[in-house]
Amino acid sequence: MLDKKMQAALGEQATKEFYSAYLYMAMASHLEAQVLPGLAKWMRVQAQEESCHALIFFNYICERGSKVELGVIKAPPKDFKSVTEVFKHTVAHEREVTASIHGIAELAASIKDHATKQFLEWFVAEQVEEENAAETMLRQAARLEDDKALFLLDKEASARVFVLPAPLAGKV
Ligand SMILES: [Fe+2]
Ligand SMILES: [Fe+2]
């Protein structure tokens, strides 16, 4: 069984990951409305990954014999001023998630919960990739000077495909 504080922190993180999926679907919706299907697809894949992250936390809490306590998912923003704004928000959000995961890793260390500390290592590495991917998109979006460049970025973004995260292999 998980320590009560840890159970709450992991349940909260599962909720945050579900919110991430919700936020990225809001961005996908905005991009679809802007007729940018490639970038919208990039965001749909991002949202799928976030749902998987939520599920990984969910499964882990169950595996430890504890109950998953899910919280309230707030409404995501509806409108964004530009594609650059979308990716600025993405980068800021991913940094928040990283800080949240680091906070749980610190809690795990302080209560000597070695299993949770090891479990979180996958997420610590994943966040490095997530921040990097979002920052790359932001730098590319910020460089766009015209609609033609945006069209090309949209085409490139459409190549992103969903890959099931390793911790879920054989579990969904
Ligand atoms: Fe995530
Ligand atoms: Fe993420």
Please, are residues 9 and 111 in contact by the beta-carbon 8 Å criterion?
Answer: no
Please, are residues 104 and 147 in contact by the beta-carbon 8 Å criterion?
Answer: no
* SS3 (DSSP) at 54: helix
Is 145 a residue whose pLDDT tops 80? no
Provide the domain count of the chain: 1
What's 147's domain CATH number?
A: 1.20.1260.10
Q: Would 169 be classed as within a structural domain?
A: no
pLDDT in tens, 158-169: 999 999 999 999
Q: Would 168 be classed as within a structural domain?
A: no
Distance 146 CA to ligand 1 centre (A): 32
Q: Would 65 be classed as within a structural domain?
A: yes
Distance 2 CA to ligand 1 centre (A): 21
- pLDDT band with cut points at 50, 70 and 90 for residue 150: confident
Of the ranges 54-63, 106-115, 116-125, 163-172, which one carries the lowest mean pLDDT score?
Answer: 163-172
Q: Would 172 be classed as within a structural domain?
A: no
Q: What is the pLDDT of residue 153?
A: 92
Q: Range of 124's domain? A: 4-161
Distance 31 CA to ligand 1 centre (A): 20
Distance 91 CA to ligand 1 centre (A): 12
Q: Would 37 be classed as within a structural domain?
A: yes
Q: Would 15 be classed as within a structural domain?
A: yes
Letter for the amino acid at 7? Answer: Q
Q: What is the pLDDT of residue 149?
A: 86
Query: On the CB side of 54, how many CA atoms lie within 13 Å of its CA?
Result: 20
In the block, residue with structure tokens 């349940």: 11
Question: Among all ligands shown, which has an atom nearest to the Cα of 101?
Answer: 1
Average pLDDT over residues 33-55: 97
Q: Would 167 be classed as within a structural domain?
A: no
Question: Among all ligands shown, which has an atom nearest to the Cα of 54?
Answer: 1
pLDDT in tens, 7-32: 999 999 999 999 999 999 999 999 99
Residue 143: exposure state from Cβ atoms within 10 A (0-12, 13-18, ≥19): exposed
What percent of the chain is predicted at pLDDT more than 70?
100
Average pLDDT over residues 136-160: 89
Is 2 a residue whose pLDDT tops 90? yes
DSSP assignment of 106-160: HHHHHTT-HHHHHHHHHHHHHHHHHHHHHHHHHHHHHH--SHHHHHHHHHHHTT-
